[in-house]
Amino acid sequence: MTLVVLIWGANFAVVKTALAQIAPLPFTAIRFVIAASLLALLLRWREGDCAFPKGSFWGLAWLGITGNTAYQALFASGLARTTAANAALILTATPATIAIIGGLIGVERITRHMVVGIALAMGGVVVVMAPRGASLSSQTLVGDLLVFASVFGWTAYVLGIRKLGNGMSSLRATTLTMITGTPGLVLLGLPGMLRTDWSRVGGVTAFGLLYSAALALVVCYLLYNRNVRLIGGVRTTIYGCAIPVIAALVAWPALGEKPTAMQGVGAILIVVGVLVTRRK
């Protein structure tokens, strides 16, 4: 999961640069098409086919739509209407949401260490992001609500992946949910793709698309889903609280956004929270 955090943390700066030339929804649609194609090739090479196991289509389609189509569309639309700091803070509710809903439906076993670790990590994210302008206002309310709604899409996806039996590999589950989630994103991104002046799209944007597709989606989704099935949704998702720390460190040389001492304190709280959550 450390590799996932590093890749996703750097992805913020990479995507922010690419979005200067391509709007969020078209960008998301293109990178999901690339990622789904790469995963399909990998699955066919490793396991011989891309078929849905008998009786699994609708369940995997549901996970693809909630965890990819709905989550990505809600988050991208919300981010366009709120601040990056607000969005990052709202997303820290994900581990708690997974813990609560997962505990209620019997998918996750919640321990005292998990509760303490989640609280420490969420507090650390607040400290990290507060200096970057996180605040509540009527101007950002719609965006904040859309991002908050996206949390439930990702929660449904994680808990659904957690419930999959051992008869299906993480590679097949990741690939098939990516394939079922991509068409909706293409439909949502198509108007923007038609409006994009592709002659102005340069190498930096192309690199951003490849990075966010091959690394942030293919590699990270495979590792993330494998960990969800091995150690649980809460212990996996709590690592995500460290992403704003990596994003801040990468943004320092890449975007000139210098981190503060308080953000260092927040980073310590996040690391301690992750370590506490890992305890049995």
CA distance 146 to 240: 19
Asked which of 103-107, 139-143, 154-158, 244-248 is least confident by mean pLDDT, the reply is: 244-248
- pLDDT the model gives residue 62: 93
14 close to 208: Cβ distance less than 8 angstroms: yes
- What is the arithmetic mean of pLDDT over 109-138? 66
- What is the arithmetic mean of pLDDT over 253-267? 62
**Higher-scoring residue by pLDDT: 41, 82:** 41
- pLDDT the model gives residue 89: 66
CA distance 267 to 280: 23
Q: Would you say residue 182 has pLDDT above 90?
A: yes
- What is the arithmetic mean of pLDDT over 17-25? 80
- What is the arithmetic mean of pLDDT over 212-227? 85
CA distance 148 to 84: 13
Q: Would you say residue 155 has pLDDT above 60?
A: yes
Among 20, 4, 36, smallest CA distance to 208 is for: 20
Name the band, by pLDDT with cuts 50, 70 and 90, for residue 80: confident
Among 154, 173, 162, 158, smallest CA distance to 61 is for: 173
- Which residues have a Cβ under 8 Å from the Cβ of 206 and sit 6 or more positions away? none
- Which residues have a Cβ under 8 Å from the Cβ of 249 and sit 6 or more positions away? 9, 259
Among 263, 246, 271, 258, smallest CA distance to 14 is for: 246
pLDDT mean across residues, the chain:
78
DSSP string, 59-96: HHHHHHIIIIIIHHHHHHHHHTTS-HHHHHHHHTHHHH
Q: Would you say residue 54 has pLDDT above 80?
A: yes
The Cβ of residue 175 has, within 10 Å, a number of other Cβ atoms equal to 27
Q: Would you say residue 136 has pLDDT above 60?
A: no
Q: Would you say residue 134 has pLDDT above 60?
A: no
Query: Domain segments of the chain: what residues?
Result: 2-278
Name the band, by pLDDT with cuts 50, 70 and 90, for residue 166: low
Two tokens, residue 55:
């009786």
> Residue 50: what are its φ and ψ, rounded to 5°?
-120, 25
192 close to 247: Cβ distance less than 8 angstroms: no
Two tokens, residue 235:
């212990």
Coil vs helix vs strand at 99:
helix
- pLDDT the model gives residue 244: 65
- What is the arithmetic mean of pLDDT over 217-222? 87
15 close to 27: Cβ distance less than 8 angstroms: yes
Percent of the chain with pLDDT over 90: 16
**Higher-scoring residue by pLDDT: 223, 265:** 223
Whole-prediction pTM = 0.78
The Cα-based distances of 258 to 23, 64, 105, 278 in angstroms read 26, 37, 43, 31
- pLDDT the model gives residue 198: 79
DSSP at 48: S
The Cβ of residue 85 has, within 10 Å, a number of other Cβ atoms equal to 18
- pLDDT the model gives residue 256: 59
- What is the arithmetic mean of pLDDT over 155-167? 80
